Structure 1
Amino acid sequence: MAPADIGGQAELTVADLSFISLTLVVLPLALCTVPGGDLVLMVKPQFEIGKDRLGRTGVVNSERERRMAVEKVANAALDAGLDLCGLAASPLPGQDGNVEYFLWIKR
């Protein structure tokens, strides 16, 4: 994905993705955001921790595993040269009951 694919860079980029790790797309998303722009990413731990560590129900019950998932995405953002601005748990659970998080990043 490149800025030309979406008509240029955006001031705000929001991502709510499934079945892919945000670590794979945080840099392309950032490049589609103007310098100084904001990104709000929904971190879904079930797509960050790997199938081998996911229970059969698809719900990440471990607080430790959820924290590791958020840290994985946050570290990918830092590695891309982005600034972390905030983190909040979503007030609504995911479809299967997963706790999900909003990660606010500044390019």
Structure 2
Amino acid sequence: DCGASTGGFTDCALLMKAKKVYALELGFNQLDWKLRTDPRVVSMESTDIRKLDNPLDPEISIVLADLSFNSLDRTLSGMRAAVSAPEVFFLLLVKPQFELESTVIPETGVVNDSGLLKAALEKARSAIERENMELLSHVDSRVRGREGNQEIFVWARSLAAK
């Protein structure tokens, strides 16, 4: 779970019967106590996903990412480096306000324009393909971001070991 924060995706993974979850977070002391003390959770606070260059665990089969203040363009290579299985799936939350250039973001900071959403998705697709991955599907999140941004879930997979 990249960008674990308080552990929303980590909790969902455990509810879906994950055996182990690596909860990576650049910040510190955010992960919910229930998750922090769960033996299936490996809390990796103060970890910059952009600086990972070795696999965490050869059994990782899915990567979850809900990142703020950073784009997939800058973080996907670290996510790919963290896994070594031949086929790994990725559930990525595309946040247009962090994918697009600041010059095109409305003054409100809220991105809901269909053209800008499409541009953010295409930028994410380019990053995915650059990392030897395939975008399988995408769907708009039913829940808007904290500030009201329309976010997009992307389902992708690695095509081969990188």
TM-score, reference length from structure 2: 0.61
Q: State the distance in 2 between where 1:37 and 1:3 align.
A: 15
In the other structure, the counterpart of 1:28 is: 78
| Shift >3 Å, 4+ stretches | none
Alignment of structure 1 residues 21-100 onto 2, 5 Å = 21-33=71-83, 34-100=85-151
In the other structure, the counterpart of 2:15 is: none
Partner SS, residue 72 of structure 1? helix
Partner SS, residue 14 of structure 1? strand
Q: State the distance in 2 between where 1:47 and 1:95 align.
A: 13
Q: Counterpart amino acid of 1:97? A: G
Q: State the distance in 1 between where 2:92 and 2:68 align.
A: 12
In the other structure, the counterpart of 1:15 is: 65
Q: Deviations over 1:9-50 (max 9, x none)?
A: 421110100111111111221222322110111000000112
Q: State the distance in 2 between where 1:101 and 1:93 align.
A: 9
Structure 1, unpaired ranges of 5+: none
Q: State the distance in 2 between where 1:17 and 1:61 align.
A: 18
Normalized per residue, the structure richer in strand is 1
Aligned length: 105
Structure 2, unpaired ranges of 5+: 1-51
Query: Would you say the 8 A contact 1:21–1:47 is kept in 2?
Result: yes
TM-score, reference length from structure 1: 0.90
Aligned-residue identity in percent: 30
Q: Which has the larger radius of gyration?
A: 2
Q: Counterpart amino acid of 1:8? A: D
Partner SS, residue 93 of structure 1? coil
